[in-house]
Amino acid sequence: EVRLVESGGGLIQPGGSLRLSCAASEFTVSSSYMSWVRQAPGKGLEWVSIIYSDGNTYYADSVKGRFTISRDDSKNTLYLQMNNLRAEDTAVYFCARFRNLGVTQGMDVWGQGTTVTVSS
């Protein structure tokens, strides 16, 4: 079964760092376009970052310079390194795969989400 499983969320103090993981099954992360999307409490979905199959990366302005998306091909896993965390980063973080090896046809596989809470 094609599947994504996130992990790594938790409670972290403002200014701290956290790394989220997203393990993929039955497809190859390195051949796919992969994204992180988050949902803050009471808010809508917000796109966070994307990594293309060629390694190019893009970020939302709200996280640029603080978050880094990456992948480990040997582990078939996607990551999101989050530094200098702020209260407004509190959210459920989803990883997702774009269908058909491109960025134009929507995200057809999603993880169940992992919760990040930034609070002192």
Residue ranges that bind another protein, judged by CB under 8 A: 35, 37, 44-47, 50, 58-61, 94, 96, 99, 103-108, 110-113
Least distance (Å) between residue 72 CB and another protein: 22
Give bridge partners of residue 13 from the DSSP assignment: none
Least distance (Å) between residue 12 CB and another protein: 22
Token representation of residue 19: 């790394």
Task: Based on DSSP, count helices (H) and strands (E) in the chain, helices before strands.
Answer: 0, 11
Token representation of residue 9: 């969320």
Least distance (Å) between residue 8 CB and another protein: 17
Task: Report whether 60 contacts 49 (CB < 8 A).
Answer: yes
- Nearest residue (CB) to another protein, 16 versus 46: 46
- Nearest residue (CB) to another protein, 65 versus 74: 65
- Nearest residue (CB) to another protein, 16 versus 60: 60
- Nearest residue (CB) to another protein, 15 versus 106: 106
Closest by CA position to 84, among listed 67, 70, 68, 69: 67
At residue 19, φ and ψ (nearest 5 deg) are -120, 120
Least distance (Å) between residue 13 CB and another protein: 26
DSSP 70: E
